[in-house]
Structure 1
Amino acid sequence: MSALRHGRFRVALRRLYRSEVPEARRFRYALLGLDLLSIGWIILASFLPLTGTVLAIDVGLGLVLLAEFVARLSASARPWRSLVQPLELADLLGILSLLLAPLLHGALGFLRVLRTLRLLHSVRLIASLRSDLPFFRRNEEATLAAAQLTVFIFVMTGLVFETQHRGNPEINNYADALYFTVTALTTTGFGDITLQGQVGRLLTVVIMLAGVTLFLRLAQTLFRPNKVRFDCPGCGLQRHEPDSVHCKACGTLLNIPDEGS
């Protein structure tokens, strides 16, 4: 009986994480809110002294995220295979850094920035956004490019802060780290804040090189002619003009959904 109950529980979880019914979409939007809340707390905590209250919030948030992590694995058809995926391991390390904060006194705090990687890989949420929001559907590539750049800035800012704030007097909180990240990413380099040590120099190089690449990709999507994604049933071409009736590659009749006039 317990095995049957466990099986039904996994089916219910799988429905929430993978189906397209309205309650499942609302559930995934709530998960996005939880991810944003956890990132917001990580940023806010950098401005606060390491008190018992801060550590208690770390642990409480870590328990909530751990429960969601276990539920996500349970919803997978192959939980153990999912567990060893790089993104899942990164998420688990970020959660453990919150749970173990009282024991380590924030020594592994830099690991918590790995949680931001979750924002890039919610495929089901992207599908929900595509169907729920006309603006996202019309500007999907530009929106995703902007999201990737934003997540990169968050990750790099977290790494700069966690690797520098203990020994670099110029990096005291996330605002300082964000300021340096943006100036390095745009190659402006005012020079009033610099990173110390070989790790700091290498991190600066990564920010500049990867940042320029992401900026170019965002610019490319912004200035590229606006097209919609729709798989042609004949040849598989995915990008078409919004008012296309036939596929320009093979001539197959298309039926691209729109909002009407």
Structure 2
Amino acid sequence: MRVWLRYLHRADTPPAKGFRYGLLLLDLVSIGWIVAASFVPTTTVELTVDAALGLVLLGEFGLRLAASRRPWRELAKPLNLADLVAILSLLLAPLLQGALAFLRVLRTLRLLHSVQLIATLRSDLPFFKRNEEATLAAAQLGVFLFIMSGLVFETQHRTNPGIRNYADALYFTVTSLTTTGYGDVTLPGTTGRLLSVVIMLAGVTLFLRLAQALFRPEKVTFECPSCALMRHDPDAVHCKGCGAILRIPDQGRD
């Protein structure tokens, strides 16, 4: 069984890729539900959906561990521990009446894994292959916005009248990231100010990385005629893999 699961998680065959695309869809559906639930009051229906989703995610989590040669080492990874805590918060939601709902934001960390998954499936996505650096930079910025918006919502919506749902949290995160700072929504207290500082510093760094990837990429995509290495420095004359002469198209400089 472990061999079969490892095949589904790592092989390049169509069935295995289809399985991993299914995992990506499951991640997006679960995170979408977490966002949608922030717009409605807690009801029995919502708690039931939380528990059902938690069971599905727990099953996927178990299969992920079973596919590993060292399950305990895999479980000890920070992202997997955060995912397990988020899953338990969903499973226990009916018993605790949503008291641990704020822990569900940890599920958004799975987006980091989704970005890695997309990278492994680059052969199926020609656009991604041509613009890999810019696409990954944009995805990382998007993940950062999503995670920080979740933190803002879960830490503020109970006490801050300016943060009523996920959209309000996203609005604050984007205005802080862009240093626009309209001032109509603020995070009071020391914790709120520190969270704002993290958004501004880390977010601006990711934004600059995206701009660099778009307008001044670190690498260019060009297949070496000898060894087929695809990533080279923009001004490369010889391939770093085999030393063959490269003729990378260049529009020149003014």
TM-score, normalization: structure 1? 0.86
Q: 1:45 to 1:248 in 2, by over 3 A?
A: same
Q: 1:46 to 1:19 in 2, by over 3 A?
A: same
The answer to whether the 8 Å contact 2:82/2:107 transfers is yes
| 1:68 is the counterpart of 2:78 | no
The answer to whether the 8 Å contact 1:232/1:247 transfers is no
Deviation at 1:108, TM superposition (A): 2.2
| 1:211 is the counterpart of 2:203 | yes
The answer to whether the 8 Å contact 1:73/1:82 transfers is yes
1:8-87 map, 5 Å: 9-87=1-79
2:151 aligns to what?
159
- 3-state SS of paired residue (1:50): coil
1:171 aligns to what?
163
1:202 aligns to what?
194
The answer to whether the 8 Å contact 2:86/2:105 transfers is yes
What is the distance in 2 between the residues matched to 1:63 and 1:229? 45
1:111-122 map, 5 Å: 111-122=103-114
- 3-state SS of paired residue (1:251): coil
| 1:182 is the counterpart of 2:174 | yes
Q: 1:28 to 1:251 in 2, by over 3 A?
A: same
Deviation at 1:238, TM superposition (A): 6.7
- 3-state SS of paired residue (1:192): coil
My pick for the range that moved more, 43-52 or 223-232, is: 223-232
Q: 1:192 to 1:111 in 2, by over 3 A?
A: same
My pick for the range that moved more, 140-149 or 245-254, is: 245-254
Deviations 1:111-165 (A, max 9, x none): 212222222234454221x101111001011101100111111101111011001
Deviation at 1:100, TM superposition (A): 1.3
The answer to whether the 8 Å contact 1:165/1:171 transfers is yes
| 1:103 is the counterpart of 2:87 | no
Deviations 1:211-233 (A, max 9, x none): 10000000000002561287999
Deviation at 1:248, TM superposition (A): 6.4
2:251 aligns to what?
none
Deviation at 1:239, TM superposition (A): 2.6
Deviation at 1:241, TM superposition (A): 6.9
Q: Over aligned residues, Cα RMSD in angstroms?
A: 2.6
My pick for the range that moved more, 119-128 or 149-158, is: 119-128
| 1:146 is the counterpart of 2:166 | no
The answer to whether the 8 Å contact 1:18/1:124 transfers is no
The answer to whether the 8 Å contact 2:50/2:90 transfers is yes
Aligned length: 244
Which of 115, 120, 129 does residue 127 from structure 1 map onto?
120
Residue identity matched to 2:205: T
Consecutive unaligned residues in structure 1, runs of 5 or more? 1-8, 255-261
2:221 aligns to what?
228
Deviations 1:67-86 (A, max 9, x none): 00000000001101100011
Residue identity matched to 2:127: F
- 3-state SS of paired residue (1:121): helix
The answer to whether the 8 Å contact 1:145/1:218 transfers is yes
